[in-house]
């Protein structure tokens, strides 16, 4: 693997970022109607937003920090928090990680492009599309001129933007699904160049469409890209040529972030932060190390594990980095992101939202807005009042294109936690002893069947897997571990509940030890099964179907009353009745052995004439044991 040289870092002092970037990122709107106002230095929490979204969103202000509009990639709201004229039905998705990003048209004060991305829940079918907003319309509140012009599909839920090296134009960067191709489009004063720059670099993003989730970010100087691989628990770094739009070389950081989701650069571009969706841990990497190995070994965890799922990690106009967590009560903050190690300082409770109010997303911006030059030198001043933005001077109108019909409302995503556990026996060596509880099981392989394909996961030591699923589909899970009987569960989502759980219990294999089947009843003095026995036997059938290589013996026992030979014959017939029932349900006879022991193997240790009725009942039992 070639070493990333980061030679462009040496040229930082020679670059000057686009001159119009001042306060365009001063206002954020995101999540459950929340916003942040950075215009007076310390961010102030706002609760006047009209948007209620789970993940991706974008906001844009003018150069003085006045709100223009914001979007979840589906609807656009103006500065009065009203739906913008013609501002519904954009091609983003409520569950796309980076559903939208807003980019101004160069040399224009009034034209803005919204680039939208589809979600894994829609099989990424809509891909990357763009929409034009003109701020000269509707009295300066803006209106959508045309929307949903297709650029590429299918694409991952990842998009970022940086300033071109010419300091005038912009690059829009995304990643094609099921390939190793980056797709880059240039935005100039003439509009969006729909002929992409395509680069083949790094690993393929493929497999389970959940691997398409997670963030892509560019460094503020636009020379490095970072991409999270959600299902593969890692991040890759790339060099980006912001003069040509080409992506090249790579550094693969190891699998240290289960469910790698959020990613961000420090304003200096010298540090990288990666968030783990599953553990809530944020890992820091020092990118100015002299070798790839040193960069990998520089990993430092800036916080402790959390009960909440880590979402977006987004640099702010104040030079700090802010974090979102699903259903958390706070927005977190990395206070000194340009430093390394313990000096970085993380405050997980920087801004209080309220219990369970956190969502996964924060706005996606042009990364160049937050380069170190601007975070250190931007102007801080009180925001003007809430009066509407003054009407802009007319300019040549963009070409209007047909309006795409508004799509049907999209259901919110479903977050499912799969828990795999084992039974705790009072006597660990006796499968018939009292069960005292359940505990998490490690080293489990979990297979998920979506109806169209099967996906395999390796569970962590806590026996837990958190998944983001389509709430309109059903799922079948099969849990497997060496030394245990495999077990399955069918999950049918419950409408309207965002977070749900399914639990799978695995039985330890007690080879050659008899396990009593409860409630196996026969008619008096007969071998025929009674209907009350069928539910317990159906459970045994499920075990055998989930463990196709298991061979078992069905044993029947009687109490000591009656002649020995009679009891032997009766117990053999009863064991055979169970085997016959299993065969009628599709279990191969070669996997089954019937054995009647009569009164020869009592479970209760008592002399026959002194056994209580309860002890006689213990002796009259049907069992199974695993032979191989």
CA atoms within 13 A on the CB side of 55: 33
Buried residues in 290-309 as b, exposed as e (16+ CB within 10 A):
eebeebeebbeebbeebebb
Residue 259, Cβ density class (10 Å: 0-12 exposed, 13-18 middle, ≥19 buried): buried
Say if residues 30 and 359 touch (Cβ distance below 8 Å): yes
> What pLDDT was estimated at residue 521?
67
Instruction: Please give the C-alpha separations between residue 136 and each of 139, 143, 146, 519, in angstroms, as whole numbers.
Output: 7, 8, 14, 78
SS3 233: coil
CA 514 to chain centroid: 43
Record the pTM.
0.77
* Maximum CA extent, the chain: 108
Residue 302 tokens read as 């800036």
Give the span between the Cα atoms of 29 and 36, in whole angstroms. 7
Residues contacting 164, CB < 8 A, separation 6+: 170, 171, 186, 222, 242, 243
Instruction: Please give the C-alpha separations between residue 579 and each of 543, 557, 573, in angstroms, as whole numbers.
Output: 15, 15, 10
Say if residues 224 and 177 touch (Cβ distance below 8 Å): no
Q: β-pairing, 100-104 with 111-117?
A: antiparallel
Residues contacting 199, CB < 8 A, separation 6+: 181, 182, 184, 245, 246, 247, 248
First to last CA, the chain: 47
Domains of the chain and CATH, by start = 23-377 (2.120.10.30), 412-509 (2.60.40.10), 511-628 (3.30.1330.60)
Residues of the chain with pLDDT under 50: 1-21, 383, 385-393, 395
Give the span between the Cα atoms of 82 and 62, in whole angstroms. 18
Residues 304, 305, 306, 307: what is their CA dihedral angle, to the nearest 10 degrees?
-150
pLDDT tens digit string along 133-166? Answer: 999 999 999 999 999 999 999 999 999 999 999 9
Give the span between the Cα atoms of 66 and 74, in whole angstroms. 22
Residues in the chain: 628
Q: Which helix (H) or strand (E) holds 228?
A: strand 224-229
Q: Which helix (H) or strand (E) holds 143?
A: strand 143-152
Residue carrying the six token digits 């070798």: 291
Residues contacting 609, CB < 8 A, separation 6+: none
CA atoms within 13 A on the CB side of 455: 19
- Helical axes 564-584 vs 534-546, angle rounded to 10°: 60
What percentage of the chain carries pLDDT values higher than 70? 89
CA 108 to chain centroid: 38
Which residues does residue 188 pair with via DSSP β-bridges, in sequence order?
191
Residue 76 tokens read as 């656009």
Query: Nearest to residue 323, comparing CAs of 289, 282, 283, 286?
Result: 282
Residue 557, Cβ density class (10 Å: 0-12 exposed, 13-18 middle, ≥19 buried): buried
> What pLDDT was estimated at residue 2?
39
CA angle 481-442-262, nearest 5°? 120
Residues 348, 326, 72, 385: what is their CA dihedral angle, to the nearest 10 degrees?
-40
Residue 196 tokens read as 């992409």
Residue 172 tokens read as 């829009």
Give the span between the Cα atoms of 244 and 423, in whole angstroms. 60
pLDDT tens digit string along 420-462? Answer: 999 999 998 888 888 899 999 999 999 998 887 788 888 888 8
Give the span between the Cα atoms of 284 and 568, in whole angstroms. 71
Residue 438 tokens read as 């359940």
Give the span between the Cα atoms of 193 and 213, in whole angstroms. 26
Say if residues 84 and 69 touch (Cβ distance below 8 Å): yes
């Amino acid at each position: 693997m070639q070493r990333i040289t980061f030679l462009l870092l040496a040229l930082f002092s020679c670059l000057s970022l686009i001159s119009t970037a001042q306060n365009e990122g001063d206002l954020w709107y995101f999540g459950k109607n929340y916003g942040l106002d950075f215009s007076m230095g310390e961010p102030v929490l706002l609760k006047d937003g009209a948007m209620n979204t789970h993940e991706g969103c974008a906001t844009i202000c003018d150069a003085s920090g006045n709100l223009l509009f914001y979007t979840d990639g589906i609807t656009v709201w103006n500065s009065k928090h009203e739906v913008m004229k013609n501002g519904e039905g954009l091609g983003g998705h409520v569950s796309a990680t980076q559903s939208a990003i807003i980019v101004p048209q160069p040399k224009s004060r009034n034209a803005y492009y919204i680039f939208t991305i589809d979600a894994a829940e829609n099989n990424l079918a809509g891909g990357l599309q763009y929409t034009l907003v003109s701020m000269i319309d509707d009295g300066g509140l803006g209106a959508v001129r045309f929307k949903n012009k297709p650029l590429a599909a299918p694409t991952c839920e990842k998009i970022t933007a940086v300033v071109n090296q010419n300091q005038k134009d912009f690059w829009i960067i995304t990643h094609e699904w099921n390939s190793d191709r980056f797709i880059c489009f240039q935005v100039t004063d003439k509009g969006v160049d729909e002929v992409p720059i395509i680069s083949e670099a790094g690993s393929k993003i493929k497999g389970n469409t959940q691997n398409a989730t997670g963030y892509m970010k560019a460094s503020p100087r636009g020379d490095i890209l970072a991409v999270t691989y959600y299902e593969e628990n890692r991040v890759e770094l790339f060099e980006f040529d912001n003069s040509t739009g080409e992506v090249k070389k790579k550094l693969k950081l190891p699998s240290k972030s289960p469910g790698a989701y959020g990613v961000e650069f420090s304003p200096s571009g010298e540090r990288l932060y990666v968030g783990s969706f599953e553990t809530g841990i944020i890992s820091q990497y020092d990118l100015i190390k002299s070798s790839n190995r040193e960069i990998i070994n520089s990993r430092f965890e800036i916080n402790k594990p959390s009960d909440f799922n880590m979402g977006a990690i987004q640099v702010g106009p104040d030079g700090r980095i802010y974090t979102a967590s699903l259903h958390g009560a706070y927005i977190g903050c990395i206070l000194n992101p340009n430093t390394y190690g313990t000096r970085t300082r993380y405050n997980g409770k920087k801004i209080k939202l309220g219990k369970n109010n956190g969502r996964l997303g924060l706005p996606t911006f042009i990364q160049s807005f937050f380069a170190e030059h601007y975070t250190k030198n931007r102007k801080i001043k009180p925001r003007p009042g809430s009066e509407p933005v003054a009407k802009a001077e007319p300019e040549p109108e963009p070409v209007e294109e047909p309006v795409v019909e508004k799509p049907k409302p999209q259901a919110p995503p479903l977050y499912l936690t799969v828990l795999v556990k084992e039974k705790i026996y009072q006597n660990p060596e006796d499968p018939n002893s009292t069960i005292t509880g359940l505990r998490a099981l490690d080293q489990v392989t979990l297979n998920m069947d979506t109806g169209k394909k099967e996906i395999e996961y390796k569970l962590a030591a806590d026996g837990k897997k958190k998944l983001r699923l389509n709430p309109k589909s059903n799922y079948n899970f099969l849990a497997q571990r060496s030394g245990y009987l495999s077990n399955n569960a069918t999950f049918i989502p419950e409408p309207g509940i965002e977070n749900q759980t399914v639990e799978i219990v695995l039985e330890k294999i007690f080879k050659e030890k008899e396990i009593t089947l409860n409630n196996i009843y026969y008619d008096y003095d007969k071998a025929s099964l009674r209907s009350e026995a069928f539910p317990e036997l159906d459970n045994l059938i499920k075990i055998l179907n989930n463990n196709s290589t298991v061979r078992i013996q069905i044993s029947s026992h009687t109490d000591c009353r009656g002649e020995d030979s009679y009891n032997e014959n009766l117990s053999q017939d009863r064991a055979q009745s169970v085997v016959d029932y299993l065969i009628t349900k599709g279990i191969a006879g070669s996997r089954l052995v019937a054995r009647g022991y009569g009164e020869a193997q009592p479970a209760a240790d008592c002399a026959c004439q002194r056994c209580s009725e309860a002890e006689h009942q213990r002796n009259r039992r049907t069992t199974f044991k695993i032979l191989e």
